């Protein structure tokens, strides 16, 4: 008998029919002899509607009150789910984040989980019930209601799976799994049966939209296999598992793309210690997430530092850079919001020379210019003009032999 944590996102429980379909699948999983814990998001766009309502009612939206407001959504979906299970003879009980023992820090709207005390969930399982747990929410050490930020329900599922020592954490969504590239860009993209945690982390952090980074990190740290699959077709999806050292790894598993970022270049900076530290400390102090960073030094002991930030944070980031410019004696600060990034991810890359060369040759053959390069042992990212990104992904998908039937 396996213990399975099943997480259903907003589209999976978007209306009454969908809730009933999910209940049927939970019943099937139970009937196959498994213990099941269900984690649900709020129904469809309900959370977005609440946010609009808050904007309507007030210009002041303290994070504590936003958390109180938004957690109403899962409360509705989880109790309805529990009733839907009851209707088909599956005994269940719903639990808020607080009741499920999701203890977080006090950072409202993006709380971090400090501890899971799943006693009530364990008890419910022991009584033969299916616990239905509110995703996305917890209770802080100050006894206030908190939310876990974007992708929070995935984090709840992974954390509960870890605490309960579940056999698998299933993430149900509206796509069939993780693909070799975005199917909207590459029609020949195919679903991956299996990726390693490390690959998934790179895919998630470079534009793969299926899973949020935090939940993958959680599952990796606690050795909980994840299974991303569709709640519309119910077919098997993509497993995310520990690397299997006995297995030959794909050199390139997936190609991701991301056009949500902009580039900032701080040019003509004296090449001495502490300059980058000053710049990125100031950005961090303003809560700006910096992604790719590239620095190179010219002949005159002057360095250019380029980095990418989310387009939504470009204005704030530019303000910080312009403030710091004088302090670090930079010649200029410029930005560019017409960039895009293409990334190759593959665990086999580290033992395969020539991947970089093939990537660059492929882009060069089509006259696509590379503006920034950044690599890890299992990833190569190139920044290009945004309007070349789709072409680049398709060319690389073919060049690395990923095109399906």
> Who contacts 97 (Cβ-Cβ below 8 Å, separation ≥6)?
71, 74, 133, 134, 135, 136, 137, 138, 139, 145, 146, 156
Residue number, 54 or 125, with CB nearest to a copy of itself? 54
* Minimum distance of a copy of itself from residue 173's CB (angstroms): 21
Per DSSP bridges, beta strands 302-310 and 226-230 are: unpaired
Write down the least CB distance from residue 120 to a copy of itself, Å: 8
In 3D, which of 291, 152, 132, 174 has the Cα closest to residue 218? 152
Residue 165 Cβ, how far from a copy of itself at the closest point, in Å? 24
Cβ distance to a copy of itself smaller for residue 55 or 281:
55
> Are 141 and 163 contacting, i.e. CB atoms less than 8 angstroms apart?
no
Give the three-class secondary structure for 339.
Answer: strand
Helix then strand count (H, E) for the chain reads 12, 20
Instruction: Indicate the residue among 125 and 294 with the shorter CB distance to a copy of itself.
Output: 125
CB of 71 to a copy of itself, least distance (A): 7
Q: Give one DSSP letter per residue of 97-153, joined into a string.
A: TTTTTEEE-S-TTS--EEEE--HHHHHHHHTT-EEEEESSEEEETTS-EEE--TTHH
CB 265, CB 336: distance < 8 Å: yes
Of 22 and 201, which CB lies nearer to a copy of itself in the complex structure?
22
Minimum gap (Å) between residue 20 Cβ and a copy of itself: 7
Look up residue 12 and give its DSSP letter. Answer: T
- Distance of closest approach, residue 363 Cβ to a copy of itself, in angstroms: 50
Query: CA dist 2 to 36, 37, 52, Å?
Result: 8, 11, 41
142/327 with CB nearer a copy of itself: 142
Q: Which is nearer to a copy of itself, 69 or 321 (CB)?
A: 69
Nearer to a copy of itself, 143 or 326 (CB): 143
Q: How far apart are CA 385 and CA 370, in angstroms?
A: 8
Whole-number minimum distance, CB 59 to a copy of itself, in Å?
Answer: 5
Where along the sequence are the contacts to a copy of itself (CB under 8 A)? 16, 19-20, 50, 53-54, 56-62, 64-66, 68-69, 71-73, 75-76, 78-80, 82-84, 86-87, 93-94, 96, 99, 120, 143, 145
């Amino acid at each position: 008998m396996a213990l399975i944590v099943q997480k259903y996102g907003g589209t999976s429980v978007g209306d009454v029919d969908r809730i009933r379909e999910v209940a049927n699948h939970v019943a099937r999983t139970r009937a196959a002899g498994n213990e099941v814990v269900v984690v649900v998001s709020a129904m469809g766009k309900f959370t977005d509607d609440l946010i609009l309502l808050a904007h309507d009612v007030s210009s002041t939206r303290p994070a504590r009150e936003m958390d109180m407001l938004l957690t109403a959504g899962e409360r509705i979906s989880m109790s309805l789910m529990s009733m839907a299970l009851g209707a088909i003879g599956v005994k269940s009980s719903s639990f808020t984040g607080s009741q499920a023992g999701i203890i977080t820090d006090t950072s409202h709207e993006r709380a971090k989980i400090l501890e899971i005390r799943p006693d009530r969930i364990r008890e419910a399982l022991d009584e033969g019930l299916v616990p239905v747990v509110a995703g996305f929410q917890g209770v802080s050490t100050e006894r206030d209601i908190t939310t876990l930020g974007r992708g929070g329900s995935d984090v709840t599922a992974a954390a509960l799976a870890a605490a309960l020592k579940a056999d698998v954490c299933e993430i149900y969504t509206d796509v069939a799994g993780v693909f070799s590239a975005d199917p909207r860009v590459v029609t020949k993209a195919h679903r991956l049966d299996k990726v390693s945690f490390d690959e998934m982390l790179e895919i998630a952090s470079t534009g793969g939209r299926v899973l949020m980074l935090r939940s993958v990190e959680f599952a990796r740290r606690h050795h909980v296999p994840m299974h991303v699959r569709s709640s519309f077709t119910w077919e098997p999806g993509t497993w995310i598992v520990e690397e299997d050292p006995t297995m030959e790894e794909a050199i390139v598993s997936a190609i991701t793309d991301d056009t949500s970022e902009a580039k900032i270049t701080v040019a003509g900076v004296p090449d001495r210690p502490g300059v980058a530290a000053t710049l990125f400390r100031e950005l961090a102090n303003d809560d700006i997430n910096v992604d790719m960073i590239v620095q190179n030094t010219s002949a005159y002991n002057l360095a250019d530092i380029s980095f990418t930030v989310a387009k939504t944070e470009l204005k704030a980031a530019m303000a910080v850079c312009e403030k710091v410019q004088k302090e670090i004696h930079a010649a200029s600060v410029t930005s560019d919001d017409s960039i895009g990034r293409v990334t190759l991810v593959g665990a086999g890359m580290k033992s395969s020379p020539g991947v970089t060369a093939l990537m660059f040759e492929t882009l060069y053959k089509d006259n696509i210019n590379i503006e920034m390069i950044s690599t890890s042992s299992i990833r190569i990212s190139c920044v290009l003009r945004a309007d070349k990104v789709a072409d680049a992904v398709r060319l690389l998908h073919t060049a690395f032999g990923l095109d399906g039937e």
